[in-house]
């Protein structure tokens, strides 16, 4: 019964795609623009959702179009400038809709005005991790131990990130400001080199994406001290949030779906219903859990308000970090 109800919900939700309800040949394709290369977490989760919608409405064509470049700005700009008819939607994420507007001196789109939010889809916690050997050598077992050591030993700890303005860099700068400590930032050309630097002991700690860090945490190569979400993450329930030691600390990686501004409200509502149903499907939630990704279905209004808060929050974070791309 539940499966049948979900299918009917999806079918009703996407009914607007039909140019004529009884003429299946006239179904309009739905294009989803992913502003990153294939294979990453955003691409994989988007394809999982698209597949779920296809299963429930096989006559609906859904095309995933990867358009990477300029920190995601190229693909996002294509969404902003697409016709607001519900046939082109795309990914909104922390970097393009909260960080890049403050990181780039010139933006091709207005993150606050050029989009109609559909739903948040995913949240992936970031996690403060320290090289296990360094933790043992320095007697660091908890976040409070870590902060105490950093305060007592200014500039003796360094941290790596995937580059200036990356999520890891900004989380590190927020941590330094909130904790009142100083540590040296070492930027690398991407998250993978930063992770290798941590594993080899070239840097002492990083703020890494949980999906990336989890295998090495499980293997005991790195030690998780805290997650950066406001509450404990169900994906890493034994690790406390940063907010336990630093009240108000919250910074994580999120993404969702948006349409061009001006897309009719009924179209947005139908898209929301379709993708929320897919996000709530048990098999989709199980697959997301394997990717260390938390499904976050929301209303369009909830996602809109969330993105406004994130955009405002990152203004001070980016400016305090001194990061700039151009």
d(CA 311, CA 326): 19
Domain span(s) for CATH 3.40.190.10 in the chain: 126-244
| pTM score, whole prediction | 0.84
Among positive and negative, which fits the CA dihedral 52, 15, 33, 258?
A: negative
**Hey, what CATH topology would domain 2-124+253-321 get?**
D-Maltodextrin-Binding Protein; domain 2 (3.40.190)
179-190 pLDDT, tens per residue? 999 999 999 988
Query: Is residue 236 within 8 Å of 127, Cβ to Cβ?
Result: yes
126-244 maps to CATH 1.20.120.330: no
Every domain of the chain with CATH number 3.40.190.150 lies at 2-124+253-321
Q: Write the DSSP symbol of residue 133.
A: H
SS3 (DSSP) at 175: helix
pLDDT in tens, 285-316: 999 998 888 999 999 999 999 999 999 999 98
- Which residues in the chain come in under a pLDDT of 50? 1-4, 6, 8-13, 16-25
pLDDT of residue 14: 52
CB 7 within 8 A of CB 56: yes
């Amino acid at each position: 019964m539940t499966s049948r109800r979900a299918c009917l919900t999806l079918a009703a939700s996407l009914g607007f795609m039909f140019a004529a309800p009884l003429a299946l040949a006239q179904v309009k394709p739905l294009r989803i623009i992913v502003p990153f290369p294939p294979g990453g977490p955003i691409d994989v989760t988007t394809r999982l959702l698209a597949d779920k919608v296809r299963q429930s409405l096989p006559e609906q064509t859904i095309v995933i179009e990867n358009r990477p470049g300029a920190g995601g700005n190229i693909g996002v700009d294509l969404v902003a400038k697409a016709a607001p008819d519900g046939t082109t939607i795309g990914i909104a994420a922390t970097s393009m809709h909260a960080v890049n507007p403050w990181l780039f001196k010139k933006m091709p789109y207005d993150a606050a005005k050029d989009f109609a939010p559909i739903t948040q889809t995913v949240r992936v916690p970031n996690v403060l991790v320290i090289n296990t050997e360094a933790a043992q050598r320095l007697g660091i077992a908890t976040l409070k131990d870590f902060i105490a050591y950093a305060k007592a030993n200014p500039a003796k700890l360094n941290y790596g990130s995937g580059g200036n303005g990356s999520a890891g860099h900004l989380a590190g700068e927020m941590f330094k400001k909130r904790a009142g400590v100083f540590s040296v930032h070492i930027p690398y050309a991407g998250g993978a080199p930063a992770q290798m630097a941590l594993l080899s002991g070239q840097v002492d700690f990083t703020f890494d994406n949980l999906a990336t860090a989890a295998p090495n945490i499980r293997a005991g190569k790195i030690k998780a001290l805290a997650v950066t979400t406001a509450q404990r993450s169900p994906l890493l329930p034994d690790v406390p949030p940063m907010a336990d030691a630093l009240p108000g600390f919250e910074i994580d990686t999120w993404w969702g779906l948006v349409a061009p501004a001006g897309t009719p409200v009924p179209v947005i509502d139908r898209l929301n219903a379709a993708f929320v149903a897919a996000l709530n499907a048990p098999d989709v939630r199980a697959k997301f859990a394997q990717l260390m990704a938390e499904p976050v279905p929301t209303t369009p209004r909830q996602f809109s308000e969330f993105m406004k808060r994130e955009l405002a929050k990152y203004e001070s974070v980016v400016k305090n970090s001194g990061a700039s791309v151009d």
